[in-house]
Structure 1
């Protein structure tokens, strides 16, 4: 059977909040964060906020304890575990950072379901301060994409991922799940037969709706964890049945007639390894 690759955004997709904003608000520097936001890029601002927390005496343990309070919808947890059990390859492409993502996923016992996490790397320096680095060195090696923030082009990550996987397995099918403006560029990199699950009434959904002729993949809208689980598992099941049917009779339809999915009408160097691991306190 061909490989089914699920690519998840993290903030507002796997979790129903922004992990960066969660930390700065919960640890009492949300007002400063909002004051500095107009004058700094988001990635640089978050590194600055970690400096401020360190200056206030907050430790990595305080940050981790805060992150462990982030809730994960039971339907999202079940969708992740079910997709993994069904043999899918689950990956994350996120503009958050490695510590935040790994801490939350580990807390909810789904970290091991993901084969790869592409995100902004981070490390703890000699003073015990968390440093958050850009995924892409936009000064020495700019990615050149006008659609994406300077620190990360998710579209280029998807292109590298697809090229690398194509050399090993033919016929990979991609399902991309996201919500934000940064998820639009990777959506443009998907082909017919792929799927985009866009969170309704969020920037990705709106951008796709406004530029539907540019999208080749089939688009499905979802609003909450229950809808995400139902649609995702149905897509996986349909594809697996389709693959089995193709093997036996040479033809199949990817989406069966009784699959009641809401779809939008459409016109006809893996850098995860550079994300320096941060030891998460137990």
Structure 2
């Protein structure tokens, strides 16, 4: 019988080969969390001058990062930057310290962890980098802004969604994504919730999703990055219920997850 004391009908029982659903959900930001820098900066280095003109740099408006990136990509296309050079610039971005070790650990515990990316970057940069690093298949889902090359060879970026959160940029509220995903997965898993949820990030927009975490869950902010500073301020408030483990290297996260799994 299952935990509700309900015995499945013999014909309905899952084949014995079906693994039980993963106990833990790990959500990752991408820029400066999985990779060691901001992917947009790497792309900008493909420009003939390796930098943006001042008028474009100064056109950035707080909370309108997606819109600003769309302008940058259009400018790059006008400057003749090719798809190949963008791809190779993205593939060359180094991982954040120890992240590949963390992925190796998660690969060896695939039955325990379900992995998702939640990022304000874009599908092209993220898919390209993860494929190149050989870790794409570890992730069940990537939530990010859609981007693809149009007929003229320009990388066109769209906003991910619209939402009503006053704290987040127009195109993405990571807390909305996290809540909807957890709810949807619980249904798909036959009502079985994740035992714990982990959120790995670095930036100010990684704070909002941590508000949805409970006392069993853990936020992993990159040490001394904006997310860490903001969470330190918030720990005083009743809004933040999760555990917090700052990380400098992916090894710090591995150590924390080993403890949770009861490994030494």
- What's the TM-score once normalised by structure 1's chain length? 0.77
Inter-CA distance 40–150: structure 2 relative to 1 (3 Å threshold): closer
TM superposition outliers: structure 1 runs of 4+ over 4 Å? none
Offset at residue 74 of structure 1 (A): 6.3
The alignment of Structure 1 onto Structure 2 pairs a total of residues equal to 234
Q: Does 1:148 align with 2:168?
A: yes
**Residue of structure 1 in register with 2:10 after alignment:** none
Give the alignment partner of residue 164 of structure 1, picking from 184, 188, 191.
Answer: 184
Q: Distance in 2 between matches of 1:211 and 1:163?
A: 25
**Residue of structure 2 in register with 1:253 after alignment:** none
CA contact (8 A) 1:166 1:172 kept: no
* DSSP-derived class of the 2:207 partner: helix
Q: Distance in 2 between matches of 1:171 and 1:21?
A: 35
Offset at residue 173 of structure 1 (A): 1.1
**What RMSD in Å do the two structures reach over aligned CA positions?**
2.0
Where structure 2 has 5 or more consecutive residues not aligned to the other structure, the ranges are: 1-19
Q: Distance in 1 between matches of 2:136 and 2:97?
A: 15
**Residue of structure 1 in register with 2:216 after alignment:** 193
**Residue of structure 2 in register with 1:34 after alignment:** 57
**Residue of structure 1 in register with 2:116 after alignment:** 91
Q: Distance in 2 between matches of 1:187 and 1:100?
A: 25
**Residue of structure 1 in register with 2:225 after alignment:** 202
**Residue of structure 2 in register with 1:182 after alignment:** 205
Offset at residue 112 of structure 1 (A): 1.5
Give the alignment partner of residue 211 of structure 1, picking from 202, 218, 234.
Answer: 234
Q: Distance in 2 between matches of 1:108 and 1:119?
A: 18
Q: Deviations over 1:18-67 (max 9, x none)?
A: 10122113422433442222488211111111111111111211210111
Q: Deviations over 1:173-197 (max 9, x none)?
A: 1110011110010000011100000
Q: Distance in 2 between matches of 1:68 and 1:220?
A: 29
Q: Distance in 1 between matches of 2:255 and 2:85?
A: 40
Where structure 1 has 5 or more consecutive residues not aligned to the other structure, the ranges are: 137-141, 243-258, 260-282
Comparing 30-39 with 178-187, greater Cα deviation is found at: 30-39
**Residue of structure 2 in register with 1:263 after alignment:** none
Q: Distance in 2 between matches of 1:153 and 1:12?
A: 18
Q: Does 1:100 align with 2:121?
A: no
**Residue of structure 2 in register with 1:233 after alignment:** 254
**Residue of structure 1 in register with 2:151 after alignment:** 126
CA contact (8 A) 1:154 1:183 kept: yes
- What's the TM-score once normalised by structure 2's chain length? 0.82
* DSSP-derived class of the 1:30 partner: coil
Q: Distance in 2 between matches of 1:97 and 1:109?
A: 18
CA contact (8 A) 1:84 1:90 kept: no
Offset at residue 131 of structure 1 (A): 0.1
**Greater share of helix:** 1
Comparing 101-110 with 24-33, greater Cα deviation is found at: 24-33
Q: Deviations over 1:243-276 (max 9, x none)?
A: xxxxxxxxxxxxxxxx8xxxxxxxxxxxxxxxxx
